[in-house]
Amino acid sequence: DAGITQSPRHKVTETGTPVTLRCHQTENHRYMYWYRQDPGHGLRLIHYSYGVKDTDKGEVSDGYSVSRSKTEDFLLTLESATSSQTSVYFCATRGQGLIYGYTFGSGTRLTVV
């Protein structure tokens, strides 16, 4: 496995506050992804990165930004958290070969109150 660490594992925050979730990987994978998981929706892509400083939007990117200044770290920021962003957030990475699926982190459960 890729050795993916997400932090924090759980977080409760108030509406309107900024929140940053961190994903750290130790396998030097080029591709990294942020998904959110909600009941009845499965996993939906927020943002992804195909290299340092190279990022792109997914299907549910509104209200989120990302940064990748180092290969091993991919940060997801909620600029001003809203209750609709209460979710479980997963980071994933992929190796270079197309055959590979993702390797996932353990997820961060974020509650916005």
> Segment near other proteins (CB under 8 A), from 13-21, 69-77, 78-86, 93-101?
93-101
Which of 5, 13, 20, 31 forms a contact with other proteins (CB under 8 A)? 31
Per CB under 8 A, does 88 bind other proteins?
A: yes
> Segment near other proteins (CB under 8 A), from 18-26, 28-36, 62-70, 72-80?
28-36
CA distance 20 to 9: 12
- Please tell me what DSSP assigns to residue 80: S
Q: Which residues contact 99 (CB under 8 A, 6 or more apart)?
A: none
Closest by CA position to 88, among listed 5, 20, 11: 11
Site for other proteins in 48-87 (CB under 8 A): 48, 50, 58
- Give the interface size with other proteins as a residue count (CB under 8 A): 24
CA distance 90 to 83: 18
CA distance 48 to 86: 20
Q: Which residues bind other proteins (CB under 8 A)?
A: 31, 33, 35, 40-45, 48, 50, 58, 88, 90, 92, 94, 98-99, 101-104, 106-107
